[in-house]
Structure 1
Amino acid sequence: MNILNRIAADVRLMFRRPVRMQCGALCYRFKKKSAMPEMLLITSRDTGRWVIPKGWPMEGKLCHEAAAREAYEEAGVKGHASDEKIGFYMYDKGLNNGLKVECMVQVYPVVVLDMLKNFPEKGSRKLEWVSFGEAAKRVAEPALKTLILSYEQRLLGTMNQPSRSAAS
């Protein structure tokens, strides 16, 4: 029986699809009155669940540049994408042919400088600015929830740091 289990496991591995990589943008800004950070969530076009802008890598672009491009196409975001990824999360993406593939999304922070009124996917998604805590509640992927909350702590930590000139 042990040999049959081993053969079955080997066959499953042979037919397993490789993980696909995507580039994601955690878009954030600071509220004008309170200076507290908030982040942008969008809905997916197929299921309507809350997600961050993300997409496939683009030829000739680094992943953080592709993430910024996806943020523009999906949400009209103009901003600065950090080239330092803050982490990744996994999810199953449904393809047009009905198959599902496992995707690893590398996430890059994008500080939003402007929101455009017209952009390629306008009208096909909902966009909403929410607190990081609310964003973590809305997204489905546990690792994305963790990334959102840890990045908020990182932002808040930099806001509470005394400036070097004041400390001297």
Structure 2
Amino acid sequence: MKKLRAPGQVEQVRQQYAALPFRRGDGLEIMLITSRETRRWVVPKGWPMKGRRPRGTAAREAMEEAGISGAVAKAAIGSYVYIKRGIGGKSWPCRVDVFPLEVRVERATWRERKQRTRQWFNYIEAADAVAEPDLKGLILAFGVAFDRMDG
């Protein structure tokens, strides 16, 4: 039997963890990947994993979804909320805590390589490429802080 919600009742927000892959070159570059279904530009993210800390989950998702590994920050730089679309039109809100990951290894083959594309962007282009306003803001703030430390 389907569980009914009262009008105006908000569904519980679900938690996810993401990596914000970056590298230092001629300025800060951010790696984005395409989502499997809609092919939108996103960051690697996933559901909590039993026995893993949030940053460990973010690092694992980066390996599975983008074939990258490196040094992941101990603390999230912020979070964003998006609507996860599921099978059959079901959807629910998700809060995603974002952990910077300085990429040190890019593998030629990885688990989801046939389902996704990965690409490096300068941080301003990366912010423009993502759809979620709060993720845009996180990327821009990270880039500005990087420029201040680097310059």
Q: Same fold (TM over 0.5)?
A: yes
Aligned to 2:29: 38
Question: How far off its partner does 1:13 sit?
Answer: 4.7
Q: Secondary structure at the match of 2:89?
A: coil
The residue type paired with residue 70 of structure 1 is: E
Aligned to 1:12: 7
Q: Secondary structure at the match of 2:23?
A: strand
User: In the aligned structure 2, how far is the partner of 1:151 from the partner of 1:49?
Assistant: 21
Aligned to 1:157: 148
Deviations along 1:8-31, one digit per CA (max 9) or x if unpaired, are: xx92254x3200010011000012
Instruction: State the Cα RMSD in Å.
Output: 1.3
The residue type paired with residue 30 of structure 1 is: R
1:124 aligns with 2:119: no
Aligned to 2:74: 83
Within the candidate set 99, 103, 109, 1:108 is matched to: 99
**Worse-matched range after superposition: 89-98 or 127-136:** 89-98
Q: Secondary structure at the match of 1:78?
A: strand
1:28 aligns with 2:22: yes
User: In the aligned structure 2, how far is the partner of 1:116 from the partner of 1:87?
Assistant: 27
Contiguous gaps of at least 5 residues in structure 2 = none
User: In the aligned structure 2, how far is the partner of 1:92 from the partner of 1:49?
Assistant: 13
Question: How far off its partner does 1:157 sit?
Answer: 1.6
Q: Secondary structure at the match of 1:12?
A: coil
User: In the aligned structure 1, how far is the partner of 2:89 from the partner of 2:110?
Assistant: 28
Structure whose residues are more often strand by fraction? 2
Structure whose residues are more often helix by fraction? 1
Question: Percent same amino acid among aligned pairs?
Answer: 40
Aligned to 2:132: 141
Aligned to 1:3: none
